[in-house]
Structure 1
C-alpha cells in the first residue's frame, strides 16, 4: 500500500516518450464489446503476424512492454491508465506545455466530449460532459466538479492556471462512490506538482501579440533528506483586451492574472506522509465583452411595452435597439459600445492538507480542504450603449471540506477496498448581492441579496475483487454511497440607488437579512427584511462493473451507475399572490441518472509501427433534470421588481432526458519521434418528457416541445487531430513540432434548438507550436506558438440568453494569439 518516496516521484512525474506517449490524449474510454472486436481485431491480427508463436507465449506483461505507462489516481489509488475501468483522460505538464495550454478550459480542444463555455462571464464557467450543464445563475449543484489537490472547488473559481502541475485528469460519467462530492456527469481533478527530495526548478518568460507578457517558475528545495521538502511556484500574465469599447476606450477581454503556490512534503517516518498545499489566484480584469447578435421579431416584449419610447423609439440610436444592432453588425465583433465601465475581480485562496498513514494492509488517508472565493463583476449584459441589462454582482463564499478514507488490500491482494466519509460546508464570507438594472431608465433597478449555506455529508465504499482463479484477468467492482444535502437561504429584495451607478447600492449583511434593517436609499428609508427558506435532499447511489484483461494489450469493461445532483432553493421569497406566482418553484428536487458504459482500451504493434485504440459507448437516463429558466424579470406580474428571481432566473425540474453517445480515440506512431493522433465524440441528448409547467409556455423562457429543447454548451460532434514530431539536430538540440486541429458542431447557448441565432455554428481551430529544446546541450529551451492559427471568429458563450428580453448577446473567444517563450530548467 505504501510506496517509497523515490518510486512515488517516478510515478507522479512520468516521463513521456514522444513517439508513443507524450502527445497522446491518454483517454481511458469505455468500449462497446461488439465494436471492440470489429475495430481492434485487425490491429491484433497484424500484431500476431509480426510475432513468432514462441514470443507470444513468453510475452511480458503490458507494464514491461511499455515502460512509459501512465499512472493515475482516478480511483484514489495509483493505477495504470490502461487498467482502470472508468473513462479518464490524462495530461502531464509536458503535454500541456507542448500544446501551449495555459488555462484548464483550453484542454477541451484536446479532449473528446468535454466543453468549456462562458455563461454570463469568465468567472462563471460552464464545464460540460455528456450534455450536462449548470444554471447560469445561483448556487445549484454542479454536474461536473473541478478538484484541486483532491478538494472540490466552488463553481465561480474553478478555472485554474496550468503552471507547475503534476497532472490534469478528466473523468466521465457519474462520480461519488470513490471520493469527493457527488456529481452526475463527471469530474476534473487537477494535481499540482508535488515536492521532491532534490533541488530543481524552472523559469519561463514569454511575450506575444496583444502585448502579452508572462512569467512563471518553480523551485523545489529539499530541507531534510527524505523527510522534508518545499516547492514554491508562481505565474504572472498580463495581456491587452481584444475587444475595444469605442465610446469609452476600455479594452475588454483582457488578462491581468497572478497566482502562486507553496507545497510542503513532510515524511517524519517511513509510514507517514503529509502534503500541504496553499494556492492563490487573483484576476483584476476589465471583464468580458458582450456583443449583441440578434433582435427577435416584435422587438419589445409585451410586459415592457411602457418602455417603448426608450427601447424602440424608431427615431434615434440613443433609444432604439434595432439601430444599435445595425451599428454592431457593421462594426464586427471586436468593437462594441457601452454605457458602463465593466470590471471583473476574482480572488481564490485554497488550502489542501493530505495525510497518509501506512498501517500494513490498510492505509488511512485524510484530505482537509479550505477554499475562499470572492468575485466582483460589473457587466454590460446587453452589449449596447442603452441601459438595458446591467448586473452588478458580489459573491463571497468560503468552503470547508474533509474526507476520510480507509483503503485496504486483503485475501492475498485479491480484494481491494475503500470506505470513507465526506463532509462539505459552503457559506457566505461577507456581503453577497446582485444589483440588476433591467431596461433602466425608466424602470428602477433592484438589489437582490441571496445568502445560501450548503452542507453535504456522505458515506461511501467500494471494492474490487480479482476472480483470476476462475478466469485470468477478470475483476468485479462495486460501490455504494449515501449522501445527505441541505441548503439554507435568506433572501430579500429592495430598491437600488437610482440613477443606477454600479457598486453604490448598500448590500445588506446576512445578519440584516435575517433580523431586518433600515437603509436610506434614494433619500428615503427602506426597510429590509429577508425571508428564510431551506431544502433537504438525500440519495443512495451505487455502481457495479466488470472488467477483463482479455489480452496483455486489450482491456474491456462494463459498468452501470446511479448518480445524483442535490436539490436546492430559488431566491428571494416569491410573491404567493402574484398573477403568475413563482411560489411553487421556490425549491427544486434532486436530479438522478442511471448510466451504462461499455468500453475498452488497447495498444498494438506491427513491426516498428505502434498505436492505441480507445472506444466507448454510453447511455444515461436522467429523471428530474435540473434546468435554468431565464428572463423572468417582471414575469409574476405584481409590478414589484424586488421579489423577482435573482438575475431573472430560476431552476426547475424540466422532465426526463436521455443522453447517449460514443467516444473514439486512436494514435499511431510510424517510427520513433513521430506520432499521429485523432479523436471523435458524439453526444445525442434529448428530452423524453417535459416537466416544464404550462405557466411558462409562450413566454420564451423554455420550449414547450421537448424536441425543440437544446442542451446548452453540448455540441453533438467534437473531433480533433494531432501530429507531434521530435528529432535531434546535431549539437544544436532537440527540435519538437506539434500541431492540433479541433472541430465542434453547432453549440447552443440557449434552450431552443430553433433559435439558431443563440448558438455557434460548427467551427474549426488549429493550434501549432515549435520548440528547440536543450539548446547546445544547455538547459535552455525556446518555443514559438500560435493558437487559433487561422483567426477563426467564434462565440464561446451567451451573455443574455433570455428570449423574453427581445434580444440576445454573446461572448466571443480569443482571436489568433501567438508569441515566443524561453525556458530554463535547473
Structure 2
C-alpha cells in the first residue's frame, strides 16, 4: 500500500514538475484558470472554499474538492441532488422511492436505510437533518456548493466516511442592491427568485433577504387518480443579518425555510416473477396494462410527497488578535417529511400501498421523519510561532429528538398496518488539527506543509417501534399482544477515534501536490422493523463502520501561449470495514411479510482516480471531468450464508464523464453573450447487493444546453435560456428490484426534455 502511494505521489510530482517547466517569467502572476468543472472564466486564486473550516483559496487546499457557484448551478439546472451528480466526479445519488430523494453516494459510500448517512450536508457550516439535506428549495442565492470527497471526520461537525456537501449562502454585504428574476418554460414551468441586500448601518449592520418559488406541472399522468405526477412545487426563503459592531466581534444570523410539496413520483412495473406465489394474476394484469400505456402514463394508487426544513444558524466570531480567533456555530433545525408511493406500479392495493396518514409524518425512514436538531460547535483557532503553526481545536455537540408524531399507514401482503417510530440521540466530539509550514524552519523545505488532526466521538442513540394491524389491533411483532402494547425500545452507545495526516508541497505558487491519509467513522444503530425475540434477534443492533483512505493529489494552473489550463487530479484507495448494508429479506408467516435488515456484513476495497480539467482560450471555455471507481467487496456474507464477496458496491459506476464547450463574445452595447453545450455520462452500476433481475442500471449519457445575454443594451437586464435532456432521451432514473421478495421489478424514468428562459434585473 505505502509503496503504491509513494509511486503515485512520485508520478504526480513528475507531472507537476513538467507543468512548471515554462519560463519563470510566467511565475510572477498566476494564469487565469478555473476549478475543475467551472463554467465561468475565473482565476483559481479567486475561488474561496471552506474545506478546512476557514476561508482559503481552492488551489491551497490539499483536499479533493469540486466548487460550484450559483451561476453554474443555474446553467446546469440543478434543482435536486440528482442533477448535482451529473458533473461531480465519483458522486452518485440514490433517489430511493422519490424523484427528490437525496441519498448521496461518494466514492462508493452512501446512505443506508435505517442507518446514518455517509455523506453529510451542511448549510452555513451547520449539519442539515438527513431527510431535508439538499432538497428542492435549497439551491438559491448561494455563494457556492462545495463537494468534498473522502472522510471528513476530523474538522467537520458530523463524522463521515464518504464526504461532505457544503451549501454556502451569500452573506450580507456593505452594499445596497439586489436582483429579481422570473422565468417560464414547458410543462407550464413558473419561477420567481430574488434577493435584497441592505446596509442598515454601513460597515456594522447588514441585511440580506432572498427567496425562490417554482411550480411546474407533472409530465406523468396517473390514469387511476388523474393526478399529474413528477411535478415541481417548492419554495425557499432565507433572511440573514451580519453584525460587526467593532473590529473584534462578528455575528452572522441566518434563518431559512424551504418546502417541497408535490404529487409524488410515478412508478411503472417492468417485470413480474412468474414463480411468485402471491397476487400473480394481478401483477401480470398490471404489467400487461403498463405495456399498453405511454411512457409517461402509469396506473398508481394515490401518491404524495412533502419535505420541509426550517432552520436557524448563528455564528459568532471573536477576533482576539490577527492570530487568535474564537468561533461558535449554533444551529436549530426542524425537519418533516411524508412520502407515499406505489412501489409495484400496478394500482394493486393489497401488495404494498402507502396512505397519507393525516397529522403524522410518514416516510420509509420512519424514525427520522419528524425531528428537531440542535447543534453547537465551539472552535478556537490561530497561528503560532510566527506563522509556523496554523491550528484549530474544538468541541461539537448534537442533540436530536422527535418533534411530533411519526407513523406509516400502509398495506403489506393484504394486512393494513400502522408503524409508529421514533429516534433520538446525541453526538459529542472533541477535535484538534494543526498545519505546520516547514518552510519557516529552513529554506530547504520551502513550500512544504505537514497536517495532523485527531477527533474522538461519542454517540448515543435511542429508538422505538410499534407495529400493529389496523383491523384487529393485533401486534405484528409481539406475539399475543394488542395495541398499544406493541412497542419495543432500543438503546445503544458507540464511539470511535478518527484522524487526518498529510503532506502538501507547493512546487511553485500555482502547482500543489499532496498526500494524505484519513480515517472516517459512522455510528451504529438498530433494526427497529424486526422482532427482538424473532428469527432476526441476532441482527437487532448493528455496529459502527469505518474507513481508512490514502490519497495523492495535484492542483496546477499552467499555460501555453495565450491558452490557460487548470488541472486537478486525485488518486485514492480505501479500506472499508464493518460496512452497514440494508437487505430486504422475507419474513415467514401467514400472510408472509418482508423487512429491511441492516447488517455489518462486509469489508471492501475502494480505489479510483478523479480528474478535472479546464481550458480557456479567449472566449472559448472547455471544461471536463472523469472518474474511475473500483469499489468491490472483499468479504460479504448475507444472512442465510449467501456469499457476495467480490461484487461491486451499489451506486458505484466504474466510469463517470462530464464535458462542456462554451463560448463568450462581447457584442458591445448589445451585451455579452455566452452559449454552452454539455454532456454527462455514467456507466452501469448495481442497485442492490443480491443478484436478481432488474438489479443493474445501464449506463447512459445526457446532453444539456444553455445560453445567456448579460447587460442587454447596456441595461441591468440579463436573459438566460436553457434546454435539459436535449435529445429527449428516455432512461430509467431509479429502479426497485424486488423480484424475489415482492415478485416484481418497478422503476421510474428520468425527466423529459425541458426548456425555458429567465429574465433577471439587477439593481
In the other structure, the counterpart of 2:445 is 471
In the other structure, the counterpart of 1:32 is 8
**Pairing 1:773–2:727 present:** no
In the other structure, the counterpart of 1:562 is 519
1:688-703 to 2 correspondences below 5 Å = 688-694=634-640, 697=642
Q: Is the 8 A contact 1:123 1:346 kept in 2?
A: no
**The one of 667, 676, 681 aligned to 1:738:** 676
Q: 1:585 to 1:402 in 2, by over 3 A?
A: same
Q: 1:236 to 1:506 in 2, by over 3 A?
A: farther
Is the partner of 1:527 in helix, strand or coil? coil
Q: Report the more deviating stretch, 802-811 or 737-746.
A: 802-811
Compute the TM-score of the two structures, normalised by the length of structure 1: 0.85
Find the aligned partners of 1:462 and 1:669 in 2 and give their Cα distance.
37
Q: 1:567 to 1:526 in 2, by over 3 A?
A: closer
Q: Report the more deviating stretch, 550-559 or 415-424.
A: 550-559
Q: CA deviation at 1:582?
A: 0.7
In the other structure, the counterpart of 1:327 is 289
Gaps of 5+ in 1: 1-29, 314-318, 499-504, 508-512, 519-524, 698-703
Is the partner of 2:95 in helix, strand or coil? strand
**The one of 608, 621, 624 aligned to 2:575:** 621
Q: Is the 8 A contact 1:126 1:713 kept in 2?
A: no
Q: Is the 8 A contact 1:401 1:424 kept in 2?
A: yes
1:96-175 to 2 correspondences below 5 Å = 96-122=73-99, 124-135=101-112, 137-138=113-114, 140-160=115-135, 161-175=138-152
In the other structure, the counterpart of 2:352 is 389
In the other structure, the counterpart of 1:447 is 418
Q: Which 4+ runs in 1 deviate beyond 6 A?
A: 61-65
Q: Is the 8 A contact 1:612 1:667 kept in 2?
A: yes
Q: 1:61 to 1:729 in 2, by over 3 A?
A: closer
Q: CA deviation at 1:725?
A: 1.4
Q: CA deviation at 1:674?
A: 1.2
Q: Is the 8 A contact 1:240 1:251 kept in 2?
A: yes
Q: CA deviation at 1:296?
A: 3.0
In the other structure, the counterpart of 1:685 is 631
Q: CA deviation at 1:124?
A: 3.9
Q: Report the more deviating stretch, 726-735 or 32-41.
A: 32-41
Compute the TM-score of the two structures, normalised by the length of structure 2: 0.91
Q: 1:391 to 1:798 in 2, by over 3 A?
A: farther
Q: 1:83 to 1:332 in 2, by over 3 A?
A: same
Q: CA deviation at 1:332?
A: 4.5
In the other structure, the counterpart of 2:308 is 347
Q: Is the 8 A contact 1:449 1:572 kept in 2?
A: no
Q: Is the 8 A contact 2:605 2:633 kept in 1?
A: yes
In the other structure, the counterpart of 1:72 is 49
Find the aligned partners of 1:277 and 1:497 in 2 and give their Cα distance.
47
Is the partner of 1:792 in helix, strand or coil? coil
Structure with the larger strand share: 2
Q: Is the 8 A contact 2:694 2:737 kept in 1?
A: no
Q: Is the 8 A contact 2:31 2:558 kept in 1?
A: no
In the other structure, the counterpart of 1:21 is none
Q: CA deviation at 1:39?
A: 4.8
In the other structure, the counterpart of 2:221 is 244
In the other structure, the counterpart of 1:19 is none
**The one of 280, 283, 296 aligned to 1:312:** 280
Is the partner of 2:449 in helix, strand or coil? strand
1:577-726 to 2 correspondences below 5 Å = 578=534, 581-632=535-586, 635=587, 637-639=588-590, 648-670=595-617, 672-694=618-640, 697=642, 704-707=643-646, 709-726=647-664
Find the aligned partners of 1:780 and 1:142 in 2 and give their Cα distance.
42
Find the aligned partners of 2:274 and 2:614 in 1 and give their Cα distance.
49
Is the partner of 2:694 in helix, strand or coil? helix
Q: CA deviation at 1:561?
A: 0.9
Q: Matched residue pairs, number? A: 730
Find the aligned partners of 2:634 and 2:620 in 1 and give their Cα distance.
46
1:244-393 to 2 correspondences below 5 Å = 244-298=221-275, 300=276, 305=277, 307=278, 311-313=279-281, 319=282, 321-338=283-300, 340-360=301-321, 361-387=323-349, 388-392=351-355, 393=362
Q: CA deviation at 1:756?
A: 5.7
Find the aligned partners of 2:44 and 2:606 in 1 and give their Cα distance.
37
**Pairing 1:86–2:63 present:** yes
In the other structure, the counterpart of 1:23 is none
Find the aligned partners of 1:781 and 1:680 in 2 and give their Cα distance.
32
Gaps of 5+ in 2: 1-5, 34-41, 356-361, 364-368
Find the aligned partners of 2:287 and 2:133 in 1 and give their Cα distance.
33
Q: Is the 8 A contact 1:172 1:187 kept in 2?
A: yes
